[in-house]
A and B are shown apart, each in its own frame.
Chain A
């Protein structure tokens, strides 16, 4: 069966520090991969999505970047964090064949101080 791993679960980082969040998927190949951010009490904002290795689509101009160095690995990065980068970050995958529902990781609670 397919599983998605996202880590760390919580992270506290100072303003100006770099960020790297990693997400990996097991049990499937060539998944569509997504990064979302959720502010407290709000909906999910799509940040990046990828349909293949090295293919990244950015939805919102911001202080973040994403990379997909391997088929089932999706990384969210920042060179210098801002206070406004705080939030709940969620990675998700969907099948490239059925292209239907998304399966989410457990999320990373990022607090920038």
Chain B
């Protein structure tokens, strides 16, 4: 079965630095790879989506890369702020089945 790994359970960085989160998956590549933000006690909120034929996608301070050879996605937050502190989840969408599978998440803490 498909497996998704987010390498770091928790990541602590200094405000202003770039946070880089990693998502690796096994088996076949999904149609889309997505990143979500989740705050405590709330449902995840969609941030970015990247398609299997795309290498990089940007949105404001966020950047996502997708390497189907390595079966890996990197999620970057530049100029990080304490308000960016949250859990970040990567998710894979397999269009043939319409199902969305999530990784275990990385809890990001930005210290002032």
Enumerate chain A interface residues (CB-CB to B < 8 A). Answer: 32, 34, 36, 42-46, 49, 51, 57, 59, 88, 90, 92, 94, 96, 99-107, 109
- Count A-B contacts at CB 8 Å: 62
- Residue positions of B touching A, CB distance < 8 A: 6, 31-32, 34, 41-46, 49, 89, 91, 93, 95, 97-105
Beyond the given A44-B89, A103-B46, could you list 5 further A-B residue pairs with CB under 8 A, ordered by the A residue number?
A43-B89, A102-B34, A102-B44, A104-B45, A105-B43
Per a CB cutoff under 8 Å, which of A34, A43, A88 touches B105? A43
State A38–B34 Cα separation when bound (angstroms).
Answer: 18
A102 pairs with B89, CB closer than 8 A: no
Contact B98 A94 (CB under 8 A): yes
**Min CB–CB distance A19 → chain B (angstroms):** 19
Residues of A within 8 A of B42 (CB): 106-107
- Cα(A103)–Cα(B42), bound, Å: 12
